[in-house]
Amino acid sequence: MGAVKSGAGKTSTDGNDPSGHRARLRKRMMTGGEDALADHEVIEYLLMVARPRIDTKPIARSLIQRFGNLAGVLNADPQALALHPNMGETSAAALRIVALAARRLARTMVREQPVLSNWQALLDYLHIDMAHLTVERVRALYLNTQNMLILDHLVSEGTLDESAIYTREVIRKGLDVGAAAMILVHNHPSGSPQPSRADIQVTAKIAEAARVMGMVVHDHIIIGREGHVSLKSKGLI
């Protein structure tokens, strides 16, 4: 029987870790709370799993410096990530899969319960999905009589700061899927979720058209990097 090689049983991520830094990072991640690792350390850990033979700390710090924070990195354009110094497609994919998993988890949480009684899950999902977009996207969330989500419909996608909302299209789609109610959603790439006069006017127009056709507009939510605004909570619906 051959001799057992020293180091057997260690994970591949320890292969270039003579100081034990990676082992300590992993232990903090496994035993600590959600804030056990700083933003750059989360990125570092994801990259070191994908590329165990290099020091990923400098890359992680440079990504945070460029994209601002953890959310900015994970939601960055895939091509921009791949072309970042010392990255490449393998590293970019390791970061993008986390954002994909987060979106799917949040979407599942929204679909499993009535939306109006699961409001925070909806806000979490919308923020994960839309807060860091660089163009304005308009969506209509159609609900059945039990307020379960039956369709998350992309109405339009615009330029940096505007996107058209067509009342007739929004209402027709609701009728097509048999919706009893809807929630309008769009994002502000500028970061501030405060509604514009146009936001308020188009919301009133769609709400009135929906009422005539037997549907209810529960809310219009505006998402930005700085948070969200509910037009209903502001008394604008």
pLDDT of 13 > 50? The answer is no
35 band by pLDDT with thresholds 50, 70 and 90:
confident
Instruction: Note the pLDDT of residue 229.
Output: 96
Q: How far apart are CA 190 and CA 65, in angstroms?
A: 19
Amino acid identity of residue 130, one-letter, is M
The pLDDT > 90 percentage for the chain reads 57
User: If 0-12 CB within 10 Å is exposed, 13-18 middle and 19+ buried, where does residue 2 land?
Assistant: exposed
- At the second CATH level, the architecture of 16-103 is Orthogonal Bundle (1.10)
In the chain, which segments carry CATH 3.40.140.10? 115-230
In this structure, are strands 149-157 and 137-143 parallel, antiparallel, or unpaired?
Answer: antiparallel
Question: Residues spanned by CATH 1.10.150 within the chain?
Answer: 16-103
* pTM for the whole structure: 0.74
Residue 88, phi-psi category: left (phi > 0), alpha (psi -120 to 50), beta (remainder): left
Helix, strand, coil share of the chain (percent; to 5): 45, 15, 40
pLDDT value at residue 17 = 64
pLDDT in tens, 133-178: 888 999 999 999 999 999 999 998 886 566 677 899 999 999 999 9
What average pLDDT score do residues 58-75 get?
Answer: 92
Q: At what angle do helices 39-50 and 89-111 cross, to 10 degrees?
A: 120
The hierarchical CATH code for the domain 115-230 is 3.40.140.10
